[in-house]
Every structure is written in C-alpha cells, then in structure tokens.
Structure 1
Amino acid sequence: MPSYDIVIIGGAIVGSSIAYFLREEGFSGSIALVERDPSFAHSATTLSCASIRQQFSIPENIRLSQFTLGLFRELKTRFGSDADIAFREKGYLILAGPEGLPILKANHAVQEAEGADIVLEDADALAKRFSWISTEGITAGAYGRSGEGWFDAHALLTLFRKALKDKAIDLITGEVAAIERNGARVASVTLADGTRLDAGHVINAAGPNGGKVAAMAGITLPVEPRKRSVFVFEARDRIDDMPLMVDPSGIYVRPEGSVYITGGAEPEDTDGPADPADFEPDWSLFEETIWPILATRVPAFEAIKPGRAWAGHYDYNTLDQNAVVGPHPEVENFIFANGFSGHGLQQAPAVGKALAELILHGSYRTIDCSAFSYERIAEGRAFRELNVI
C-alpha cells in the first residue's frame, strides 16, 4: 500500500498552498494531495467572491491577508512572467450606522496599528468621495485605499496547482472514507475505492467537509458547510469608482466587469448546516431583501436587470468564525487548516506558509498562528472575529 510522510485531505486553495510551501520551505519527504473533485466545480475556492481585505477586527487575521497581498505583489517572480489573477485593487467600504460605529472605530484602530491603509470617514466625507452613495442611516465608513480588492480565484488556484506538478507531489483523485487512528496518532487514510494511504502526518484541508473529516479520526471540530448565494445584475449607470461596499445590513455589492455581484443576506447564527448537495441560489433573498436595500443605498440600483446566480458552501466555524490552524494537542500528527468562515481564499497562502514552517522547524516563523490553535476549540473558548462578511 502507498505510504506518505504527509497526506493532505483537500486539494483546493488551502491544501494546494500547504503542499506548495512545504516544498518551498525545504520539505523533502513524500506528499500526497487528495482531492475528490479535481474540476473544483463545487469547491468553496472557485465559488467564492474572490476578494481580499485587511478590514478585520483582530491583528492575526490582518496579518494573514497581508502575507497573501505580498504574494500577489510578487506573482510573476514566483510563478512566471505570465502569472495574472486580474487583481482589482479597488478597496472595501464598510459602512456603519450609530449602533455599529463603536465597533467600526475599534476595528479601524486595530487595522491602523497593523499598518493597513484604511481611512475612517463620516457620512459627509463619504458622500463627497462617492457621489453615487446614499448615506441615509450611515454614521461613518471605513475605506481601504490600497491593499484590498478582488481577483480571479480560478487563476490563483491554477497557479498553485500548476506549480505543484514540478514539486514531486502525488495528486490523487479520491474521496476520503475513513481515517485509521492508533491511540494518539493517525495511521492511515482510506479512500472510497478502498485505497489505503499510510501517513506520517494527516492535514485536514477539506473545506466545508472539515468537520466530517475530523470526525473520521474521532475528533470533534465545529466546522460545517454553510450555503451562500451570489447574484449578478446589470445597471444602466456604470459606477467606475465603486469598491466592494458592505452595508450595515451585511449585504455587499461590487463591480464585476460590466455587471455587479451581490449577496450576504443569510442569517449567520440561525441558518444551520447546508445540505452538501444543495447548490441552488436562493432567489427570494435577492428579491425580498437584497435588492430593496441596494436600491436605498445606491439610488442608481433602483432599476436593474437580474442576471445569473450561483451558490456555494464555505467552512463555517460555529464557535467563533475563525480558522483552526495547527496540530491537535493530543493527536499531534493530525493537523488542522479549517473553519475559515469565508476568509479561506485570502488566507490560504499565509496558512500554507505557516504550517510548512511549523512542520519543518517546529515553530511558526513568518506568521504566528498560535491564536488559531485547536486548544480553544477543546476549551470552548471563542477567539471571535467581529468583522465577518
């Protein structure tokens, strides 16, 4: 039976980043990267809105995104002269009313301390900066002048996957059906076709299925799939200076070429785990909730033409909407890279780098991910990110 020093479960952006940086960091052992759907048709990576921001409430999340931003700046050096992910550095605009202002201010102070280029402006200043916006009910907004925007998720994943082909990594197509554990160690991974992979380490990078994979090893991980719908629409007026705007309601909108995409109306705490087979967009959200709010916030959107829509799942950490990164405290050769709660695409390269350092050197060197460790899960101690979009 095949034997590997490291078996990574999940071959989308998180798993691919880990494999990539293991080799970059100098790991010479054998690596298997297992992915059940190499087309990534239903992957959280490819169905996301593919954006990056520094507007978080805790320093650790800001640092993860800053690392990925740095990688974006050196794409051609790292991946070749034709590397391009169509990064549109047009910023985030996060709005707040009177009730949300204290949190917005506190978040902004954290972001400034981390060197993020975010400006906090009152409603009058926002109206002068963005002529298309209605500031009704708005007290202030935080705007990222640089270091935030959106990009092509497919292109980024393709860059990593292509790079892996020259790094002696076995790319295995298969679905994990079982994980064998001998006491305080996991010993092997068995695929649905019966193939058994002996493993020195197992890394859980299974996205929305992360909780299910952990359960196979007898480990509780509060990560479940959550469905999110994304809607495309056209508008008569083209708004060239629109950042990714987040209304106080949680609804977001941004340009995408000649159209716009929007979403964000799902209730975070009450919608529960998604049916893994359900990828149908919820049009009632758009018609009953999203469009009326968009028309109020952006008067030009009172008359729009709805287009296509899609739905995807992301790996929602029900404890605190933050990632779980690093080894299990008792099953030390089982390593987590889970629960990103919608931030996985922008944080994956940083987590890949961090885990590669931890595995090779025994400690984090570039980015300290200790705050994301499983210990807080075991203790039920939330490390909560307040700025979840």
Structure 2
Amino acid sequence: MLPPGFASAPARSSYDVVIIGGAIMGSAAAWFLTRDPDFDGSVLVVERDPAYERCSTAHTNSCMRQQFSTELNVRISQFGAEFVKTLHERMGGDPDVPRLSIRNFGYLYLAADQAFAETLRANWRVQRAAGAGTELLSPDEIAARYPFYALDDVVLGSINTRDEGWFDGAALFDQLRRGARAAGAEFVADEAAALELAPSGARVEAVRLASGARVACGCVVNAAGPRAARVAAMTGIDLPVEPRKRFTWIFKAERPLERDLPLTIDPSGVHVRENGGGTYMCGAAPEPDEAVDPDDFEMDLAMWEERVWPALARRIPRFEAIRQTHCWAGHYAMNLLDRNAVIGPHPRVGNFHFINGFSGHGLQQAPAMGRGLAEMIVHGAYRSLDLSPFGYERIEAGRPIRERAVI
C-alpha cells in the first residue's frame, strides 16, 4: 500500500519537468516551481522510497547555521532561516501549517591550535560581512558563558546564536511536499532506470522508469541525493558526489546541564548538542571516511565506546555518566571537489539540471536551492540569489570553491 499522496504510475506520458528524487531537494524544487506565477507547466516527482525511510532527509539532525567560510553559503542559510520562520505565512496562513521557529542555542566551534584558530578568524570576517552574528571567544569568555566545558587545550571559539541551532526539519519537509502536491505536482512511487538522450546528445528526451513506463520531459532535475552520481551517469555525465556515512547517537545524562548546550564541534571530530529533556544528540564520521553503498546503514557499534564517549567526557566532564538510548546511520551526499552544492543546468545537456552534493548542509539549504533552481528553469536565470558559482562548469574545470566549515 502506497503512502498518501503517491501514485503507482504517472498519470501522463509527458511532463514539463521531471524531478528524480522526492526528498527535501526534490520537494523544495517542486514547491517553488508550482508557486511561480510564470510557470503553468506539469511537474512529476519520481521517488524510489515513498515512505522516506532511507533517504538522507529522514536521518538529518535538523540544524541551521550561518557559520560557513563562503559568503554565498552564509546567504543561502540566511534565506533558509527566514523561510523556516515565515513558513506559516508562505503557505497562505493555512491553520494546518505549523508556525516554526529556530531554537537558537548556536554552534560553538572549538580550535585546539593556532592554524584552526586562524581559519575561524577568516570565517568570522566572511560571516560578519554577510550580516551574521558570529562572535569569537577566548577560552576565558567561553568558560564564563558555558562553565561546564574543559578548555585546557582550546585557544579560540566561534559562536553565533542568531538564527543558528535546531529547527523542525521534518515539518518543513512535510509542508513542502504537501504544498507541491496541492499545487499540482504529481508524486509517483518509482525509480529512474534510464535517461534517453536526443541524437545530438544535447538534451534528455525521456525518463524510463523501473516499472517500464516511459515519460517524455521538457527538462529533468537530478535530486537523487546520495545516488546523484548514478543518475548523472545515465547521461554520460561524471558527477563527483558520493555517499559518506555519518553516525548519530542520542544519550541521556545522569546530571543534565543547567542550560542549553550549543552544537559543539570538538577538535576530536565529535559534535554534540542539546536535544531536550535531559537528552543530547551527538555525531561523528567514521575513520577512515570512505564512500559507501547508498543502502548501507550499518552502525559501527564499537565507535561509541572507543571514540565518541571518551571525547564527550573529555570535553564536558559531566558526560562521564551518560547512557546511550538509540543511534542511527545516515548519509552525506559529499561533493568531492569542494564540499559545495552543484546546481543548475549542465553546460551541454542543457535540460539536465543538478541540485546535488550538499555535503551535509542540504536541509537548511533546501529553501534557497529550490527557489534558485525553479528560477533557472522558469526564467533561465537566478533572480533572487546568484547561485551560478555553484554551477557544473567548475566541476569540469576542476575549479573548487572550497567550503572549510564542513562538520
């Protein structure tokens, strides 16, 4: 039985826009397309996992931050924060649409050496120039605000508590998906099996689905998350995006902290934040951090005892007495070139559009990226925020726009 809102087969044989992948990026693109007054076309969203049990969106930690190393990423998340806070109004004031907010406990980056301290200072200058509220803190200033940290190895911290912290990402995703459907986008439970190119190779003419259906298209959007490279390869395009596993644990503290815990990025590579009710969420990448199969969700059960818990107790001594309650694995769609998004049309297969490679930033960036891609498809240009630096051309040229603030 299919989840509500999904069809088992496309209702038509041709669509103006076919979006491959219906998680947060595909749904955001569909929502903004169907809201553009200059767009009166048809939209088909093809989703292989209609229950959304194994997509990256379902395993996200639902955080928002402004602390990036590039101005464009700061502005992308600024729009994301604005969109979240005004979601109710943007959905027409529907009483069934929740009023969302951001729980602004902030992110706290901790530098244990002067090299990373200089990176934090450089990032701070970029962030402040873009209007973010980032502050640099000495160890004494950190201790005055957050006396529970052990800071003997810390030389500098960076924090922002304005539009930075946790938000209800599941609610945002749900409303984008519902809104797109209500405005006419069709969601089908199926999988793209092949893309048919025109004889010139300059455009995609049709999408063949795993069910056997053939759907002609005006343009195709690759919103396939960790499977993005597989979809791109159907057109002969090389996209350096691969699944990288990320682990998350929830734990309960015997003695909870008296105040909210910022999302703390420890020099060990472990990060931890407030979760509410005396519980906390922490995460880390495996070592080595290698590509995995997009269906691989196996946990490294030894990692908690051997690496994560010791790092937590070292940084916050009260966390020596904690109890893990549950855990899960998810995936980053990692852009190997520069850890930044790839968005917009391919320079030669002109109706094949990317919205890929978010490297762990996807949920918070979805509103700006969905809006931008819709503008490109409908108007042939970005109108609100120029996302052209993240175009595919830099991939071919090997010209990275390096994002240093990747967790």
**TM bracket (short chain):** over 0.9
1:30 to 31, 42, 46: 42
Q: Distance in 2 between matches of 1:156 and 1:265?
A: 26
Say yes or no: does 1:75 pair with 2:95. Answer: no
Aligned to 2:315: 297
Query: Any idea what the Cα deviations from partners look like across 1:82-128, whole Å, max 9, x if unmatched?
Result: 41456322111111122310001000110000000111111000000
- Aligned runs of 1:324-339 on 2, under 5 Å? 324-339=342-357
- Aligned runs of 1:306-325 on 2, under 5 Å? 306-325=324-343
**What is the RMSD computed on CA atoms of the aligned residues?**
1.3
1:103 partner SS: helix
Q: Distance in 2 between matches of 1:385 and 1:373?
A: 15
Q: CA deviation at 1:335?
A: 0.4
- Aligned runs of 1:1-389 on 2, under 5 Å? 2-26=13-37, 27-79=39-91, 80-81=94-95, 82-85=97-100, 87-98=102-113, 99-182=115-198, 183-239=201-257, 240-258=259-277, 259-267=279-287, 270-389=288-407
Query: Any idea what the Cα deviations from partners look like across 1:251-309, whole Å, max 9, x if unmatched?
Result: 10012122111112434xx5321122221221222211111111111011011111110
Q: CA deviation at 1:363?
A: 1.3
Instruction: Indicate the percent of aligned positions where both proteins have the same amino acid.
Output: 48
Q: Distance in 2 between matches of 1:266 and 1:375?
A: 31
Dislocated runs of 4+, deviation >3 Å:
84-87
For the 8 Å contact 2:107–2:159, the answer to whether it is kept is yes
Q: CA deviation at 1:241?
A: 2.3
Q: Distance in 2 between matches of 1:317 and 1:343?
A: 11
Report the residue type matching 2:353 in the other structure: I
Report the residue type matching 1:387 in the other structure: A
Q: Distance in 2 between matches of 1:85 and 1:156?
A: 8
Q: Distance in 2 between matches of 1:88 and 1:66?
A: 15
Higher mean alpha-carbon deviation, 371-380 vs 232-241, is at 232-241
1:337 partner SS: strand
For the 8 Å contact 2:102–2:164, the answer to whether it is kept is no
Q: Distance in 2 between matches of 1:279 and 1:370?
A: 34
Aligned to 2:8: none
Q: Distance in 1 between matches of 2:145 and 2:381?
A: 45
Q: CA deviation at 1:318?
A: 1.1
Report the residue type matching 2:102 in the other structure: F
Q: CA deviation at 1:250?
A: 2.2
Q: Distance in 2 between matches of 1:195 and 1:88?
A: 45
Report the residue type matching 1:263 in the other structure: G
Report the residue type matching 1:48 in the other structure: T
For the 8 Å contact 1:263–1:286, the answer to whether it is kept is no
Q: Distance in 2 between matches of 1:196 and 1:68?
A: 35
Q: CA distance change for structure 1 residues 215 and 59 in 2, over 3 Å: closer, same or farther?
A: same
Aligned to 2:7: none
Q: Distance in 1 between matches of 2:63 and 2:46?
A: 26
Q: Distance in 1 between matches of 2:161 and 2:361?
A: 20
Higher mean alpha-carbon deviation, 377-386 vs 101-110, is at 377-386
For the 8 Å contact 2:85–2:99, the answer to whether it is kept is no
Report the residue type matching 1:45 in the other structure: T
For the 8 Å contact 1:230–1:281, the answer to whether it is kept is no
For the 8 Å contact 2:20–2:223, the answer to whether it is kept is yes
For the 8 Å contact 1:51–1:151, the answer to whether it is kept is yes
Q: Distance in 1 between matches of 2:58 and 2:22?
A: 12
Q: CA deviation at 1:348?
A: 0.8
For the 8 Å contact 1:130–1:241, the answer to whether it is kept is no
1:100 partner SS: helix
Higher mean alpha-carbon deviation, 185-194 vs 359-368, is at 359-368
Q: CA deviation at 1:367?
A: 1.0
1:178 partner SS: strand
Q: Which runs of 5+ in 1 are unaligned?
A: none
Report the residue type matching 1:38 in the other structure: P
Q: Distance in 1 between matches of 2:26 and 2:312?
A: 36
Q: Distance in 2 between matches of 1:38 and 1:334?
A: 23
For the 8 Å contact 1:265–1:285, the answer to whether it is kept is no
Q: CA deviation at 1:243?
A: 1.1
Report the residue type matching 1:115 in the other structure: G
